[in-house]
Amino acid sequence: MAEATQLDAPASAEKIAIDGFTEEGENLSPFNEGTVQHGAKKHSHGDAPVIPEASRGERLKSYKLADFAPLNGREEDWRFTPLKRLRGLHSQPLTGTGPTVEVTGATNVLVETVGRDDSRVGSASIPDDRVSAAAWEAFTEATVVTIPVETIADSDIQISINGVDEAPAAQHLIITAERFSKAVVVLDHHGKTTLAQNVEIVVGDGAELTVVSVQEWDDDAVHTSTQQAKIGRNAKFKHVVVSLGGDLVRMTPSSLFTGPGSEVEMYGLYFADAGQHLEQRLLVDHAVPNCKSRVTYKGALQGQDAHTVWVGDVLIRKAAEGTDTYETNRNLLLTDGTRSDSVPNLEIETGLIEGAGHASATGRFDDEHLFYLMARGIDEKTARRLVVRGFLNEVIQQIKVPALEERLTDAVERELAAGNI
């Protein structure tokens, strides 16, 4: 019997080469810039390699762009993102004309345009990556939507964001649901753009807020959006992301509990076509006791080089006793030539919790589902579409805005028809 290899044995001089990998790990994107290997970049004050944060909670946050090093694509937060397709959002001044913003719907809410010196700016978020910090430094005014204390919005609040320029630009939005208020807010993105966006969301004590962010950009649009929510005591917050259009769309929503007894639901739906890059990186930060969170993201991919990324971080801090959390990601590969990266992360600093878990799965059509439908006289093409509709409908039906649900169902149908599925 051959002698077992010891874990601490010195590496052999003769190494096996695997395409796409280096000694530092996988070279995930041929579009990423730079040649410095991950973990080998020097600090400005010495030759020691960079050591990644031990905890998700230790990640750098700053309003200053200079505090974030230039990106090279080897950073943990950017290793899946093709930087060259960002069109300068990470490396150029954001001086373009940002999308127009129009707020319609509810009549009993307050809509304002304020300067960056307004005290509400920065009340819910601090940039935690280079592009978000660049957007923070570049914006000159912000759109603020406020649902007043104990107000129930008399209809859905529609925020239409229409891109008109492809030069790199910044945008800042603030949504505040004051204590014991209730509202549904829809961010509807369309047009052409190269946009770095920051969205601050404040959910007051006892408030109930749903925010739906729909990305139906033109085919060549580039959009990064940091959507950070701060949730108060006994509040309920639902966040839904729907990404369909655009060349590259990168969403980074986060939910921070600041008071006990609160609940968060985060849903996502994405459908990537040939050459499209749709990325979702989310964080649920359980920083206080007795809060509950549920995360469900679902994606479908079709066409050559369609690429989706989902990274779900859940942090349960030492003080967050009684936490109840679970996150799920499912991806359906409809054709050859697609790629889906799914990375669930769960970090627990206390054992005194109700429960915590995660699940991730990526695969093709379930043959049993297809057989069941075809055995009842449904042709294969129709059966496939029924499976996809049912797969994605779990997320669509969580929106609770009938007109928008119908529109997104039709959009999924168009995606399927375009891919001849």
DSSP 8-state class, residue 303: S
Instruction: Report whether pLDDT(41) > 60.
Output: no
| R_g (Cα) of the chain, nearest Å | 22
Give the mean pLDDT of 266-272: 97
The average pLDDT across 117-121 equals 95
Which residue's structure tokens are 């912000």?
Answer: 142
The residue-averaged pLDDT of 336-345 equals 96
pLDDT at 4: 37
- State the pLDDT at residue 54: 60
- State the pLDDT confidence band at 53, using cuts at 50, 70 and 90: low
As a whole number of angstroms, the distance between CA 350 and CA 316 comes to 7
End-to-end CA distance of the chain: 52
Residue 34 has pLDDT above 60, yes or no: no
In whole angstroms, what separates CA 76 from the centre of its chain?
Answer: 15
Query: 286, 315 in Cβ contact below 8 A?
Result: yes
* Rounded CA separation 250/242 (Å): 12
**pLDDT band per the 50, 70, 90 thresholds, residue 19:** very low
pLDDT surpasses 80 at 397: yes
CB 301 within 8 A of CB 329: no
Reply yes or no on whether the pLDDT at 51 is more than 60.
Answer: no
The reported pLDDT for the residue numbered 48 is 42
Torsion-angle region of 23 (φ positive above 0: left; ψ -120 to 50: alpha; else: beta): alpha
| Encoded tokens for 357 | 């878990």
Asked if the model's pLDDT at residue 22 lies above 60, the reply is no
Residue 346 in contact with residue 284, Cβ under 8 Å?
Answer: no
Q: Give the pair of three-digit tokens for residue 51.
A: 């050591």
Residue located via tokens 């968060």: 264
The encoded tokens of residue 109 equal 């809410």
Instruction: Determine the Cα–Cα distance for residues 280 and 251; give it in Å rounded to an integer.
Output: 5
Q: Render pLDDT for 273-307 as a digit per residue (tens, 0 to 9).
A: 999 999 999 999 999 999 999 999 999 999 999 99
Contact in structure between 264 and 240 (CB atoms under 8 Å) = no
At 320, the amino acid letter reads A
